[in-house]
Amino acid sequence: EVENFVTYYPHRGTVVSEVPADEIDELYQIRRLLEVFIIRRAATRATSKDTERLRGILEREEECIEPDDILDAVEAFNNTLFQLSGATTLVDINKRIREMLQRTMVSNHLNPERRRQAHEEHLKIVEALEHNDPDLAEQYTIEHLNHSPRVPKRSAETERA
């Protein structure tokens, strides 16, 4: 409740708090700024061992079938990638923002078409890291973020009904 993830209503119980649409937009803007900074820094620090590890995670992700396994692999990729930056405080802030967005959005990695596209985008980001090219890494990261649909859970669930 302190972090606004849930709201307690006397005599009704606890419910997951909704995040207003304008706040979601702000969170995406902050996420974009942080991830661009983080990826640029990671690109200047990445070693061949780091990029091999990232490629290994992507290979495992590609083999995943179960939704939880897919999401775990994507999260492992992102966490490994972000840690390469060495910007611990910014990575922690970004993780918090991603968690806030995750509770309000449907993961686009469960859509087979978007999953394939995101996988290709991740490979391009790794390639930029292999060349220690922060400009290219930034470009690919922005493209990846721009392709990520922002589908609220409520409307996605409504569409399935």
pLDDT classification of 2: cutoffs 50, 70, 90: very low
Read out DSSP for 87-129? Answer: -HHHHHHHHHHHHHHHTTB--GGGSHHHHHHHHHHHHHHHHHH
Average of per-residue pLDDT across 2-11: 58
Each residue of 89-107: pLDDT tens digit? 999 999 999 988 886 666 6
Residue 44 clears pLDDT 60, i.e. is over it:
yes
Q: Please determine, for residue 13, whether its predicted confidence score (pLDDT) is greater than 70.
A: no
- Residue 137, class by beta-carbon neighbours within 10 Å (0-12 exposed, 13-18 middle, 19+ buried)? buried
Q: What is the pLDDT of residue 133?
A: 98
pLDDT at 90: 96
